[in-house]
Structure 1
């Protein structure tokens, strides 16, 4: 990648001075013997290299390896960029050599923005592995095992900047890779630190954005650093230790991390699966909502659902087909997926809304030859939004649920916005707004009506109900992250 001098030679004079401002602090090993390994730290934005000294020391304490650390800093405005990182890495290697580190084993460790940029150095032959703290590989990389070197992805459960709902995507990739080879648990692990937040991978004063975006942690800084030290130590020991007697224990620990992290990630995967099927695939959430509307007839219906593209959805209608004693209801769904131009992990990762076209209970009763009574309750989209929150809370871990109920700002469900015809319903967006009271959610509803009997003065009954709703996944994101952030 070239030295800092060669890099700066072709840049603007301002950039030359920026390159020469780089600093490296060397943390020498605490062990007299063992396999030498050097960790090169790239800090997060607005953090200094020195703020990772306690993290590095925790790794040294936890590891049987002879761990060196190079803490890079002095970046322009304390923001690591691809322009300066090559020079920082070269300076770190030089200073490590001068301090007495003779091994060729270098590991990149990047936090937050530093990790985002560091991942591109995985192809550099000097790196034997990469550790990403509150950072992740490119979203377009569909398999972690295709990354050229072993990579550890560390998530924090209460991270308000690199959301757990973004990190769960990396865990899902790991699950797929494990089905191909169990070695993925050791080579490309994704580990979640419970009760920790974004800033606790470092130490010292946090920048204003970190303070504003992150919920309060539930574990101490010392506990987080100790956990980080153990995870990184076991990860590195698994493929770098020449003492093969240490490897089985390290692998067992990585297996345990995989299982324990799954307990945090799996609720998100389960709720995400309720609507994530793509066009022309099923939408399980539509089935749940339709069964809820059917009430005590839910065990006598069979729901067929499909997610559609916008134009096909507009022209589609729900319908009922009676097959012997089973009422088959065909429903349609439209999931409004996030359309971020770039991967921004601080933003909600879930679809904000899902549009459903469903059949009402009176329509189901009539299809079954029953007479709907006048006291049948009117269908409510608000009730389906309440159901979304209930499903989210039921799926959440007990600790997450109790945390939300104890100190999270609630979701406040407002009365439905009622529209009179289909085009207006399609054009009207549900309202979501946040204030000190919590997240306010207002669905958009439309009911289609059918005359009862053959004369126009007879009363009408509801036949279908169209609802634009919050998704259970958005509700779960609120429960896990947003409700706990400072307002």
Structure 2
């Protein structure tokens, strides 16, 4: 669901304006039940952008085969340019209901709608507007968004089903839905079954449909090791267990519960990384970084207490300064400040990372801490490049064996290189360091650490005209404790790689296709 709803809606209407009136002839391809046993149910599909409605036939046949229900399927089709706008989709869904009933389906049969990608975006609004008509909605590689984004308030059962290697509807965006589910389950245990979120292992965005995929899918999706049949079999199993569970099948509820629990296990390392990036108004990773910069003797560890304060406002963050002092109990306290800079994503585009572009952190350097904490055998103070290496190494240790194997086989490897060693900073002077990261033509990411300039710049993830990815990492600032301006004496400022961004790189972005000139 990488297509932005407001933008694509405007573009869709503009395109349709120039197409001939007879270019759209909506119709339903009816797939009759393959069994007369079980409760009678209907499933109506809403295709993704620029994907033909009939492209979901093989998936729906797999769903019928996996289901114990007497399942009718209506494939909505005939959209202009294979692009369903909300008005046409609503017409097509109600046409499908009529066509299914004309083919022999009972008028009392519960009706589920399954929308893939943008089809899920539009179909959720149609279902929410007429909840008495529909038994629920399956969001295939899609998610609740816009006016229907509140999972708890959605008026029918809803299920998110997405692949864990989807290059367009990134799994971390589905993770946001899963966290919402976890919150709902604290007060409504039934939400596990009525608002389910399930990741399907090894499945990408395009495998929900069959045939040639549109350019945006080709350019962004992640290569799957699964055959189309195996991938669609896994999607079918997830979809069936949810429909059957919401039809009262106890065995299906048990299977669904296990699938939701397995999804929790998949998300766990990412959620840990997300909480390390920011938890409330503090960054745990900033605190860990200050510990690594201080590198105090083991016997003094318990004498040191580190705090962090995140600022949302840029002006407040710029005014903030780290400090080190002895409290009334004689313990050395180091206060650090951070600003977690998230990518702008007002339209909730799932191509955009969920993680921060950077964590800007203001710390005290080792010499400043030593002056207050006391002498001892201190370790080597890590520089900003080494802190980024620490976070990336941590991400690799947190990733599951399957994810790590996939990253090692198919991912662009991130290598951090230092071209200039950190030097002793004399009193009254500063060293500014910049890290520059580039996707090299051979597919390796390099982070280069070198002396440069006079600014403290941002980390940014940019894609240039050739499709080559660049990551620009900022300057760091180091001053001597004897620096003549007291409030910036003995500081170490770093623009850091977020642990959550490191995890997103390993799980998603390193695996996506890149066009390298």
User: TM-score normalised to the size of structure 1?
Assistant: 0.87
Distance 2:254 2:470 in 1: 42
Give 1:178's aligned residue.
Answer: 185
Distance 1:115 1:388 in 2: 36
Q: Could you tell me how far 1:437 is from its partner in structure 2?
A: 9.2
Aligned length: 456
* 8 A Cα contact 2:30 2:73, kept in partner: yes
Matches within 5 A, 1:145-156: 145-156=152-163
Matches within 5 A, 1:60-139: 60-104=64-108, 105-123=110-128, 124=130, 125-138=132-145
Give 1:158's aligned residue.
Answer: 165
Would the alpha carbon gap of residues 419 and 305 (structure 1) be closer, same or farther in structure 2, given more than 3 Å must change?
farther
Give 1:53's aligned residue.
Answer: 57
Aligned to 1:451, which of 470, 482, 485?
A: 482
Partner SS state of residue 44, structure 2: strand
* 8 A Cα contact 1:46 1:207, kept in partner: yes
Distance 1:69 1:196 in 2: 23
User: Are 1:228 and 2:235 an aligned pair?
Assistant: yes
* 8 A Cα contact 1:271 1:472, kept in partner: yes
Would the alpha carbon gap of residues 284 and 49 (structure 1) be closer, same or farther in structure 2, given more than 3 Å must change?
same
Aligned to 1:199, which of 184, 192, 206?
A: 206
Distance 1:141 1:327 in 2: 50
Would the alpha carbon gap of residues 86 and 143 (structure 1) be closer, same or farther in structure 2, given more than 3 Å must change?
closer
Would the alpha carbon gap of residues 91 and 16 (structure 1) be closer, same or farther in structure 2, given more than 3 Å must change?
farther
Q: Could you tell me how far 1:296 is from its partner in structure 2?
A: 4.0
Partner SS state of residue 450, structure 1: coil
Matches within 5 A, 1:287-306: 287-297=287-297, 299-300=301-302, 301-306=304-309
Moved more, 62-71 or 211-220: 211-220
CA deviation map 1:52-91 (0-9, x unaligned): 1111111111111100101111111111111211111122
CA deviation map 1:227-247 (0-9, x unaligned): 222222221112225xxxxx2
* 8 A Cα contact 1:381 1:444, kept in partner: no
Matches within 5 A, 1:55-454: 55-104=59-108, 105-123=110-128, 124=130, 125-138=132-145, 143-241=150-248, 247-277=249-279, 281-297=281-297, 299-300=301-302, 301-308=304-311, 309-323=313-327, 324=329, 326-370=331-375, 377=380, 379-413=382-416, 415=418, 416-417=433-434, 424-425=455-456, 428-432=457-461, 440=471, 442-451=473-482
Partner SS state of residue 490, structure 2: strand
Partner SS state of residue 86, structure 2: coil
Give 1:8's aligned residue.
Answer: none
* 8 A Cα contact 1:200 1:221, kept in partner: yes
User: Are 1:466 and 2:493 an aligned pair?
Assistant: yes
Distance 1:60 1:430 in 2: 49
Moved more, 436-445 or 474-483: 436-445
Q: Could you tell me how far 1:297 is from its partner in structure 2?
A: 3.8
Distance 1:438 1:388 in 2: 20
Would the alpha carbon gap of residues 443 and 410 (structure 1) be closer, same or farther in structure 2, given more than 3 Å must change?
farther
Would the alpha carbon gap of residues 13 and 389 (structure 1) be closer, same or farther in structure 2, given more than 3 Å must change?
closer
Would the alpha carbon gap of residues 450 and 81 (structure 1) be closer, same or farther in structure 2, given more than 3 Å must change?
same
* 8 A Cα contact 1:414 1:441, kept in partner: no
Q: Could you tell me how far 1:36 is from its partner in structure 2?
A: 1.1
* 8 A Cα contact 1:412 1:438, kept in partner: no
Would the alpha carbon gap of residues 208 and 96 (structure 1) be closer, same or farther in structure 2, given more than 3 Å must change?
same
Distance 2:195 2:406 in 1: 30
Distance 1:159 1:13 in 2: 33
Moved more, 282-291 or 364-373: 364-373
Q: Could you tell me how far 1:407 is from its partner in structure 2?
A: 2.1
Give 1:29's aligned residue.
Answer: 33
Would the alpha carbon gap of residues 484 and 219 (structure 1) be closer, same or farther in structure 2, given more than 3 Å must change?
same
CA deviation map 1:435-466 (0-9, x unaligned): 999765533201122339xxx9xxxx982101
Distance 2:348 2:171 in 1: 14
Partner SS state of residue 49, structure 2: coil
